[in-house]
Amino acid sequence: MTKLSVNINKIATLRNARGGDRPNVVQAAKDCERFGAEGITVHPRPDERHIRYRDVYDLKEVVTTEFNIEGNPTPDFLKLVKDVRPAQVTLVPDAPDAITSNAGWDTLTHKDFLTDVIGELKELGIRTSIFVDPDVRMIEGASLVGTDRVELYTEAYAKGYPTSPEEAIRPYLVAARRAQDFGIGLNAGHDLDLDNLKYLKDTLPGLLEVSIGHALICDALYFGLENTIQLYLRQLK
Name the phi and psi angles at 39, rounded to 5: -170, 160
Residues labelled catalytic:
43, 70, 190
Beta-sheet strands, E only, within the chain: 3-7, 39-42, 66-71, 88-91, 127-132, 149-153, 185-189, 207-212
Cα–Cα distance for residue pair 123/13, rounded to 1 Å? 33
Torsion region of 75: left, alpha or beta (phi above 0 gives left; psi -120 to 50 gives alpha):
alpha
Cα–Cα distance for residue pair 51/200, rounded to 1 Å? 28
Cα–Cα distance for residue pair 77/121, rounded to 1 Å? 12
How many CB atoms are located within 10 Å of the residue 67 CB? 22
Peptide bond into 23 cis (omega under 30): yes
Cα–Cα distance for residue pair 188/184, rounded to 1 Å? 13
Q: Sign of dihedral through CA atoms 1, 235, 63, 148? A: positive
Residue type, 222: Y
Q: Are strands 3-7 and 39-42 parallel, antiparallel or unpaired?
A: parallel
